[in-house]
């Protein structure tokens, strides 16, 4: 397999699907500067699926290498495809592959969209499969990197939605309680919102305890889907 030619073909497929109007609008979703080709997400996912199928019999280390080269471009569409290619082979992962994902988080994540894509899918899977990594994810709450701190929360989105890892959710929420970054606050609130779908009483109890000092952004995200009477109760300080 010629890696250079493969990546050139991926880029050719992406360029064929560029939508200038979408590109102009998509950049408004981010406060930070982002690199976009301007391909709508369903089309990016289609390209990712096609190449995941093409590579399904290639050695897994080769797929990790191709994905890292895509991440190195800095383009969001390339990041989506990179994560999708390795995630398609997740059943072949070992616990050591979490180290590669951690490297990607610290090195290539530069906005909330890539952070959430990496964490919801790949790192969320690792949480469910390799519980020994939990201490490392908890430690991300102390990072100087805003995306790593957000990752500490959003990595638990899928487990929380399924009703697992409640103790981890509450621990991470406590560690991020006074974070001043709005995107970290939103990530933490989102995690609590998902956990409340299966554990509403426990999440309500947590919010009741800290609502007077919890950032309002985090609070609003956390209670978004709760019944109106509980929302009113929790918003009342």
Tell me: the pLDDT tens digits for 61-70? 999 999 999 9
Residue 189 to residue 195: CA distance in whole angstroms: 10
Structural element, H or E, at residue 103: helix 97-108
Which pLDDT does position 237 carry in this prediction? 67
Say how far apart CA 138 and CA 166 lie, in whole Å: 13
Q: Would you say 200 and 226 are in contact if contact means Cβ atoms under 8 Å apart?
A: yes
Beta bridge partners of 35: 75
| Residues whose CB is less than 8 angstroms from the CB of residue 215 and which lie 6 or more positions away in sequence, other chains included | 178, 179, 180, 185
pLDDT in tens, 157-188: 999 999 999 999 999 999 999 999 999 999 99
Q: pLDDT tens for residues 32-42?
A: 889 999 999 99
pLDDT at 102 over 80: yes
d(CA 191, CA 221): 9
Average pLDDT over residues 115-127: 97
Tell me the whole-structure pTM to 2 decimals: 0.95
Q: Which residues are bridge partners to 75 per DSSP? A: 35
Residues with Cβ within 8 Å of residue 124, at least 6 apart in sequence: 155, 156, 157, 158, 159
Report whether pLDDT(75) > 70. yes
pLDDT > 70: percent of the chain:
99
Q: In this predicted structure, what is the pLDDT of residue 6?
A: 96
Cβ–Cβ < 8 Å for 122, 137: no
């Amino acid at each position: 397999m010629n890696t250079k030619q493969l990546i050139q073909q991926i880029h050719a497929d992406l360029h064929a699907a560029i939508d200038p109007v979408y590109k102009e609008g998509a950049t408004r979703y981010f406060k930070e500067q982002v690199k976009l080709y301007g391909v709508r997400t369903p089309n990016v996912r289609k390209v990712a699926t096609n190449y995941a199928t093409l590579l399904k019999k290639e050695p897994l280390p080769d797929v990790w290498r191709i994905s890292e080269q895509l991440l190195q471009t800095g383009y969001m569409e390339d990041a989506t495809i990179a994560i999708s290619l390795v995630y398609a082979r997740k059943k072949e992962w070992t616990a050591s592959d979490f180290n590669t994902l951690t490297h990607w988080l610290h090195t290539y994540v530069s906005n909330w969209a890539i952070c959430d894509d990496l964490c919801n899918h790949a790192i969320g899977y690792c949480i469910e499969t390799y519980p020994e990594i939990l201490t490392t994810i908890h430690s991300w709450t102390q990072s100087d990197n805003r995306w790593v701190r957000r990752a500490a929360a959003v990595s638990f989105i899928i487990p929380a939605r399924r009703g697992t890892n409640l103790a981890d959710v509450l621990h991470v929420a406590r560690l991020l309680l006074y974070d001043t970054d709005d995107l970290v606050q939103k990530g933490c609130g989102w995690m609590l919102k998902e956990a409340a779908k299966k554990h509403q009483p426990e999440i309500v109890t947590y919010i009741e305890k800290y609502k007077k000092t919890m950032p309002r952004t985090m609070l609003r995200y956390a209670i978004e889907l709760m019944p109106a009477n509980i929302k009113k109760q929790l918003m009342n300080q």
